[in-house]
């Protein structure tokens, strides 16, 4: 029997991927674990490897957006006959008409449409009867639905329609899932960064790399997680799983592809210099589309710093399956009371969101206060 190559699932919330390039041609020999395709998801672009050795045949054309688990290629074993692949697969210009979409269904016995077209129409509450199909035998395709969306809003030049698809749809589903499945509570405190600013300037003057404030925050979080292990856990099937490794995700904003969270593995074992080098590389890779699957999976806690964007504070949403996230606001000079005197200090708000189903306020606040102490006494981090 041919070995099926299915669209892999790279993370918990991945529903589909797009084939951007085939690295093998039909009839070519392929070895097990040899790259055969490049897949783009809402997060990353990654190579897919062959699960077996044999002769390669694709079942989806370049440009196809395929659901997780759906077959994208076949690996034919020795002495087996080549499969009968529909000619449409060899026609890149007919991207909307891959086999899974051409197996059309009647919509209330009046309309024929591809699965992707029906899905998009449902999301935008569109009656498919109003759309003329451009596909084979009059089938309505995804492009037809998108075109209809644009045409129905031509009269309103002061509006722009952006379909909730791709990374936007994944982000929406992920955040909705997070809020619907957790009892999220956010606790806020204010930390004095004055001493940390002095230390950072000193390290830079000594010729050290320009360590970002986020690096100090990651270091403080990683150290505090060792002392408050419940904050480094997940609730799965009624069981609390406490991770003894501390993989810190750092939220990175991208101009066109939205937020992504690369992960620094075993952050508690890294020095400030090592963390700075790793984070700098990950931020660059995130913004240039060079992150790997490993770079964006396996996190146990997330840090999101809205300070560089000018945000004073926020109530961050937990990144499942993690159970807590720290949001940090902009460092701002404020009048504070020290020894009964009003002085100017550089402070920032620390906002900790956590799953209150199993994390009580006491350990959460203790964890937050420990982070605050480490940032206010930054020599403890060096």
User: Catalytic positions, please?
Assistant: 356, 360
Residue with token string 């089938």: 139
Give 143's contacts (C-beta < 8 A, 6+ positions apart).
Answer: 96, 134
Q: Which residues contact 110 (CB under 8 A, 6 or more apart)?
A: 129
Q: Give the containing element (helix H, strand E) for 148.
A: helix 142-151
| 115 phi-psi bin (left φ>0, alpha ψ -120 to 50, beta other) | alpha
DSSP-derived secondary structure letter, 44: -
DSSP conformation class of 256: T
- Sequence-ordered list of residues with C-beta below 8 angstroms from that of 51, at least 6 positions apart, any chain: 3, 5, 32, 75
CA dist., res. 116 & res. 146, Å (int): 11
Long-range contact pairs involving 140-149 (C-beta distance under 8 Å, separation at least 24): 140/111, 140/112, 140/113, 140/114, 141/96, 141/97, 141/101, 141/113, 141/114, 141/116, 141/117, 142/96, 142/114, 142/116, 142/117, 143/96, 144/117, 145/117, 145/120, 145/121, 146/120, 149/124
DSSP letters along 165-215, please?
-HHHHHHHHHHHHHHHHS-EEEEEEEEE-HHHHHHHHHHHHTT-----HHH
Q: Angle, to 10 degrees, between the axis of helix 213-227 and the axis of helix 272-288?
A: 120
**Structure tokens belonging to residue 354:** 């956590």
Which phi and psi (to 5°) does residue 106 adopt?
-80, 130
Cis before 321 (ω within 30): yes
Q: How many residues does this entry show for the chain?
A: 382
Side-chain half-sphere of 324: how many Cα atoms within 13 Å?
A: 34
């Amino acid at each position: 029997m041919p070995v099926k190559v299915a669209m892999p699932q790279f993370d918990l919330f991945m529903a589909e991927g797009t084939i951007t390039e085939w690295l093998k041609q039909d009839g070519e020999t392929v070895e097990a674990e040899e790259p055969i395709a490049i897949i783009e998801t809402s997060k990353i672009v990654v190579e897919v490897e062959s699960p077996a050795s044999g002769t390669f045949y694709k079942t989806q054309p370049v440009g196809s957006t395929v659901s997780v688990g759906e077959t994208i290629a076949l690996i034919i074993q020795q002495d087996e006959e080549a499969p009968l692949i529909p000619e449409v697969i060899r026609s890149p210009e007919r991207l909307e008409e891959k086999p899974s979409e051409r197996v059309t269904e009647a919509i209330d016995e009046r309309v024929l449409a591809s699965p992707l077209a029906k899905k998009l129409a449902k999301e935008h509450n569109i009656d498919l009867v109003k759309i003329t199909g451009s596909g084979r035998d009059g089938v309505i395709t995804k492009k037809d639905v998108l075109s209809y969306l644009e045409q129905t809003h031509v009269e309103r030049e002061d509006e722009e329609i952006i379909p909730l698809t791709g990374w936007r749809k994944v982000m929406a589903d992920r955040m909705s899932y997070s809020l619907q499945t957790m009892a999220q509570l956010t606790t806020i405190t204010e930390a004095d960064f004055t001493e940390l600013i002095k230390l950072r300037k000193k390290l830079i003057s000594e010729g050290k790399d320009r360590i970002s404030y986020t690096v100090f925050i990651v270091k403080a979080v990683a150290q505090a997680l060792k002392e408050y292990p419940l904050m480094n856990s997940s609730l799965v099937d009624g069981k609390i799983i406490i991770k003894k490794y501390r993989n810190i995700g750092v939220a990175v904003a991208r101009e066109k592809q939205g937020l992504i969270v690369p992960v620094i593995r075993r952050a508690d074992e890294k020095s400030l210099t090592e963390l700075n080098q790793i984070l700098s590389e990950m931020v660059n890779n995130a913004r240039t589309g060079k992150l790997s699957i490993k770079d964006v999976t396996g996190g146990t806690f997330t840090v999101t710093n809205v300070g560089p964007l000018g945000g004073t504070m926020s109530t961050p949403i937990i990144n499942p399956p993690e159970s807590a996230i720290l949001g940090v606001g902009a460092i701002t000079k404020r009048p504070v009371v020290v020894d009964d005197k009003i002085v100017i200090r550089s402070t920032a708000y620390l906002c900790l969101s956590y799953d209150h189903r199993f994390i009580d306020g006491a350990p959460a606040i203790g964890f937050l206060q420990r982070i605050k102490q480490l940032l206010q006494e930054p020599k403890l981090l060096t």
